[in-house]
């Protein structure tokens, strides 16, 4: 069985609330692309993503998704111009060899990262979904079997502009069965710790982690880490500039709370550098940036280094979510999988049947491939409207 067609769909979906909610002053983000201070990254006021559909000779489809929170047209063009033509005629039951061939197209040019990697991640997820659909097996089974039939998760973000609102939302999630939350902060050490205190007071049973969005220097991150450790918090994510391996290694060696890193990294070679440098205590690959093949390679490296894996998930929609759940099920040393409630809700628009979720975890889909069915007509319509 061979691959006979490759299709791309760039989506930009509106929702009742933007990713990460209102700005710090309580106003809605501006339309289009903008920076959300104090963070430095550019964000969209919509949920943007790239879907890739691979079609086998018998008409069977496999779907993949790239984490493309801004300008999904860019990785779409890479699939259309570079990856798609090579995919035609490739075997539909060989995800790993096909992934390796596509990876090698641009590696000598330094394109194992960035938009090229994002495009390849979407294709790779589609390859595994297609193989599962053709064999009738879930992706987790194709990966060698699941270590668990339900994946533990934490609620990511309490998207309210002030501590009172975050505390109330934290208490609401705790009442619904959530066991842990991650706060999206980086507003200054004292301010961040005050937010943690407010949420802890409102929901004392919740385990709390903090995503600092790369906002701090080493000295500031050490102070924040000390404060979080004193409060019994879970982990500190993305404390320093994402390229600063040495700084993270220093922080990790001195902090008494685990440092989590990984959403910006795309492949096993990058993670190997961080693991060798001991720059992280929790690894956070995003399957919609690495693909399934590379995510499993990364997980094996982490297992050998005794570093737990907590796959990242942010604005990826239903396909990326299902891929992340299957990988999380097949990873030996799993800490947890990230649950983004708003992204989850938006992503259900693309599925004929919603994915199951509980605030404390995700049941692993048991159907063939990713275990989801895409509403192709809805995807095509939304792509044209974007």
The Cα angle at residue 347 between residues 312 and 282, in degrees rounded to 5: 5
For the purposes of burial, counting CB atoms within 10 Å of the CB of 331, is it exposed (0-12), middle (13-18) or buried (19 or more)? buried
How far apart are the C-alpha atoms of 300 and 356, rounded to whole Å?
A: 27
Phi, psi values for residue 33, rounded to 5°: -100, 140
- CA 72 → CA 47, 105, 140, distances in Å? 10, 21, 27
Determine phi and psi for 142, rounding to 5 degrees. -60, -30
**Phi, then psi, of 254 in degrees rounded to 5:** -105, -25
For residue 216, what are the β-bridge partners? none
Close Cβ partners of 263 (under 8 Å, ≥ 6 residues apart): 238, 284, 285, 286, 289, 312, 314
Instruction: Give the residue numbers annotated as catalytic, written as ranges.
Output: 312
Nearest to 132 by CA among 374, 380, 367: 367
């Amino acid at each position: 069985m061979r691959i006979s067609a490759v299709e791309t769909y760039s989506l930009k979906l509106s929702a009742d609330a933007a990713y990460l909610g209102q700005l710090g002053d309580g106003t809605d983000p501006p339309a289009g692309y903008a920076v959300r201070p104090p963070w430095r990254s550019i964000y969209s006021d919509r949920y943007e993503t790239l879907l890739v559909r691979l079609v086998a000779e018998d008409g069977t489809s496999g779907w993949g998704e790239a984490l493309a929170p801004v300008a999904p047209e860019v990785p779409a063009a890479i699939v259309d111009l570079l990856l798609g033509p090579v995919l035609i005629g490739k075997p539909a039951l060989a995800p790993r060899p096909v992934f390796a061939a596509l990876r090698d197209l641009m590696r000598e040019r330094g394109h194992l990262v960035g938009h090229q990697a994002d495009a390849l991640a979407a294709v790779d997820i589609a390859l595994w979904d297609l193989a599962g659909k053709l064999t009738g097996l879930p992706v987790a089974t194709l990966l060698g079997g699941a270590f668990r039939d339900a994946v533990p998760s934490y609620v990511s973000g309490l998207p309210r502009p002030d501590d009172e609102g975050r505390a109330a939302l934290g208490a609401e999630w705790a009442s619904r069965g959530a066991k842990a939350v991650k706060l999206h902060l980086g507003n200054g050490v004292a301010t961040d710790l005050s937010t943690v205190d407010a949420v802890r007071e409102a929901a004392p049973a919740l385990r709390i982690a903090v995503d600092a969005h790369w906002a701090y220097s080493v000295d500031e991150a050490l102070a924040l880490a000390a404060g979080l450790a004193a409060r019994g918090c879970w982990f500190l994510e993305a404390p320093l500039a994402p390229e600063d391996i040495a700084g993270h290694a220093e922080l990790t060696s001195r902090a008494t709370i685990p440092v989590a890193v990984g959403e910006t990294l795309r492949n096993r070679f990058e993670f190997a550098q961080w693991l060798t440098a001991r720059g992280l205590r929790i690894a956070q690959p995003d399957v919609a940036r690495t693909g399934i093949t590379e995510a499993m390679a990364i997980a094996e490296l982490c297992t050998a280094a005794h570093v737990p894996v907590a796959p990242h998930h942010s604005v990826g929609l239903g396909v990326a979510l299902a891929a992340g759940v299957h990988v999380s099920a097949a990873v030996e040393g799993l800490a947890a999988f990230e649950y983004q409630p708003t992204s989850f809700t938006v992503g259900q628009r693309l599925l004929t049947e919603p994915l199951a979720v509980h605030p404390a975890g995700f049941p692993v889909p048991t159907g063939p491939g990713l275990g989801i069915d895409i509403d192709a007509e809805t995807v095509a319509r939304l792509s044209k409207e974007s």
